[in-house]
Amino acid sequence: MTDAQLTLISHPLCPFVQRAAIVLMEKNVPFERINVDLSAKPDWFLALSPLGKVPLLKISQTDNSEAIIFESMVICEYLEESQSGADLYPIDALAKAQQRGWVEFGSSTLTEAWQFLNAKDSFIADSKQTAFRNKLKQLEAVLTEGPYFNGTSFGMVDAVFAPIFRYFDLLNPTVSQPIFENLPRVTAWRVALASRESVIAAVSVDYAEQFQQHLVKQQALLAG
């Protein structure tokens, strides 16, 4: 596998792409990144993506054959199993299964966060903010000393939550601060993830500007 060339087919704002990019960088795997305009999906992309979504991982092997993997966690777990570098899951089967559960919890948390961020009326914004904060309260109850989800080692759960927390670093503190108030472990975790090299490099330097443009286009309350 070390001789294969990897291409991550992505979109600049997609949090699911960020998961895969973070894992690739944590594994120290060289890869090419190609962004796709999801508002005008090219034919070559639709031919590769059964669901018409990013991310895709294209694997070009030494025998000139190519393979495509789709769905972010499928890509992440493939990289975990096929690439060298630090393990992102525990070796113990029970601990690994428990962390996979929190990965799924992360996807549910992302849904609540995304609906809050894109809300166009105050009723939806308030209800989704409450739902998201409730998820954070559940995390607060299971986090330990940190700085990461599983203690001192960065893992797959961290790769899943880092793109979620990134959104709230871009908002006005008057919006984000109350959401994380009185959640010291979650707050410390969020800060640790924000400073991780792989997390920073998973998005382009103009990510904040692009995200703001997205909110304006969606006519979200937070665009103001």
* DSSP codes joined into one string, 129-179: HHHHHHHHHHHHHH--S-SBTTBSS--HHHHHHHHHHHHHHHS-HHHHHHH
- CA 132, 136, 142: angle at the middle one, nearest 5? 150
Q: What is the pLDDT of residue 64?
A: 86
| Torsion of the alpha carbons at 15, 16, 19 and 22, rounded to the nearest 10 | -60
Of the residues 14, 25, 125, 136, which is catalytic? Answer: 14
Locate CATH 3.40.30.10 in the chain: 5-82
Q: How far apart are CA 139 and CA 125, in angstroms?
A: 21
Q: How far apart are CA 113 and CA 68, in angstroms?
A: 29
Q: Report how far Cα 124 is from the mean position of its chain's Cα atoms.
A: 23
Q: How far apart are CA 110 and CA 103, in angstroms?
A: 11
CATH number assigned to the domain with residue range 93-223, chosen from the 4 options 3.30.300.30, 1.20.1050.10, 1.10.10.60, 3.10.129.10: 1.20.1050.10
Beta strands in the chain (DSSP E): 5-10, 32-35, 56-60, 66-70
Locate CATH 1.20.1050.10 in the chain: 93-223
**Residue ranges of the chain with pLDDT lower than 70?**
1-3
CATH number assigned to the domain with residue range 5-82, chosen from the 4 options 3.40.30.10, 3.90.1150.10, 3.30.1490.20, 3.20.20.70: 3.40.30.10
- Give catalytic status of residue 14 as yes or no: yes
Cis peptide leading into residue 147 (ω within 30°): yes
pLDDT tens figures, 119-135: 999 999 999 999 999 99
Q: What is the pLDDT of residue 4?
A: 81
